[in-house]
Structures are given as C-alpha cells and as structure tokens.
Amino acid sequence: MVRSDKRRADRTLSSSPKQALHCSVEPDLEQTLQRFWSLEDIAPNSSRLRPEDKIAEHLFKDTHNRDSRGRYEVRLPVKPDRPRVANETRSMALKSLSSMQRRFSRDARLAEAYGSFMRDYERLRHITRVPASEIRCEDAWYLPHHAVIQASGEKWKLRVVFDASRKTREGHCLNNFLWSGPSLQSDLSLILLNWRKYRFAFTADIVKMFRQVLVKREDQDLQRIVWALTADASPVDYRLHTVTYETTCAPYLAIRTLSQLVIDEGVDFPLGAVV
C-alpha cells in the first residue's frame, strides 16, 4: 500500500508544470538616475578660443571691410606653407568636368539645370572669367564641382557643389589649409528649448547666405573652377568671388559677418539686431 502511494506521488510530481525564476542585479538606482541626467545635460557654452580660432578671429577683425555698396569683403583664413598644386588641381577639375559632361549627354534636364545655375552665378558676378594672361598662377587652387539633386515627389532641385575636400596624389585638399574658425552656431538643444517659450514661432532663410559675403581679390585664386557645358566647348577658367559652400571656413565667415553687421548697424536697427 505504501509503495502504491509513492508511485502515485512520483507520477503527480513528474506531470506538474515547471517554473524557472531568473534574477539579475540592477545597478544602484541613484547611479542610474545620475546617468540619465548626464545624458540630458546641456554642455556649457565656453567662450575660450583655441589658438587657431584666435588666428581666424584676428584675421577677420583686421582685414574685413565693406565695398561701395555696403557688401562685406573678407579674407580666407589660410594656413601657412600651402603647397603649390595649381597644375594638378586644374587637371583634377578638368577630369571632373568631363565626367559631368558625359552625364549631361545622357540627361538633358540635368544639363539645362546645371547650365542655368552657372549662368546665374556669372550673371550675379559671383564668378568671373580669369583673363588668359593670368591663367598660369602657381598659387591658384582649382575646385572640382558636381551636382547635388534634391527630389521629393514632383519637386526637383539642383545645387552645384564646389568640392574643397578633393585630395591630390599627395593627400592635399584646400580645406586642409583653411582655419575653420570658432563655432558660432547656437546650441541646437537651446534653440529647440526656446520654441517652448512662445505660442508662435517663425523660421526664415537668408537667400544665398554664403554668397552674400565677398572674398577679397587676394584669395579668389584659391577658389578657381573650370566650366563648359559640352565637351565640344573649350573649358573656361573662373574665379569664385564669394564665400563658397563646402569650404571649412564658410560657416564661420558667414555667421561672423552677420555678427559684424549687428556691431556696425545695430544702433540704427535695434529690433533686427536682437534677432
């Protein structure tokens, strides 16, 4: 009788559902909370400038001016010991142009938009042709250019990018020899937090912001390009006259010029100066 009861008990145990419990040790709650707040923390806005930033800032202060129309002219913050690579960079620019022309032959829409962009550039005198007598210049630097297309549904927009990061055989590019200048943009976190202070907010763009600032003649040969719409046309050498998108110093020069505008004109336009 005892054996029979034991067998029944064994069968009952073997058929019952099994449960497994796992546990893990959590870090201290206080440490977890501190880590959370450190992720959310906004870095302090340091006013201390690096030595290279001071060079760019002093150059801007000492050399900027306004032309007869009130437009600002600035120097590029060029580092010393820049290599002389005019011939090599011009060859690179010509090869890049040849590649673009092959795309034009396959895409009429691209060719028309690209040509229109370059004609507009020349019409505004943001570029001018280099006289034949000045094409040979050992200190010149040529920038290849290519198309960046933004397409969304039926919208189609082209922008021409001048590539200051294209490297030579020795690994040199124009951006390597330009000081970037201090970062003058406001912290993005603070900008987003400011939106919570108001019921309505407006955003706006400055049209062709970088191209509103002229580069002084002394530095324009560092921003040369070659251009021809078709392979049958002879390439033409141009100088870019304005601050050029994709150069490492462009954001600093553009925003620093806006700050200078506040200094020069803020008394007469107090509401605009605050913005």
Q: Which domains does the chain have, with CATH numbers?
A: 66-181+206-266 (3.10.10.10)
Of 186, 258, 221, nearest in space to 75 by CA: 221
Which residue type occupies 213? V
Residue 40 Cα distances to 34, 36, 187, 188, 216, angstroms: 10, 7, 13, 13, 43
Residue 41 and residue 156: Cα distance in Å, rounded? 40
Question: For residue 26, what pLDDT is reported?
Answer: 65
Cα distance from N-terminal residue to C-terminal residue, the chain: 97
Residue 23 and residue 26: Cα distance in Å, rounded? 9
The answer to whether the beta carbons of residues 221 and 237 sit under 8 Å apart is no
Mean pLDDT in runs of 10 for the chain (275 residues)?
57 66 70 68 66 94 95 96 95 96 94 95 95 94 94 87 96 96 85 86 88 96 96 95 95 96 95 87
Q: Look-up: residue for tokens 């620019």?
A: 93
Residue 112 and residue 37: Cα distance in Å, rounded? 53
Question: For residue 123, what pLDDT is reported?
Answer: 95
At residue 149's C-alpha, the angle toward residues 143 and 152, to 5°, is: 160
Question: For residue 258, what pLDDT is reported?
Answer: 94
pTM equals 0.79
Q: What is the CA radius of gyration of the chain?
A: 30
Question: For residue 46, what pLDDT is reported?
Answer: 54
Question: For residue 12, what pLDDT is reported?
Answer: 57
The answer to whether the beta carbons of residues 55 and 196 sit under 8 Å apart is no
For every residue of 120-149, DSSP letters joined together read HHHHTTSEEEPPGGGS--TT--B--EEEEE
Residue 66 Cα distances to 105, 128, 251, angstroms: 43, 20, 19
Residue 242 and residue 214: Cα distance in Å, rounded? 4
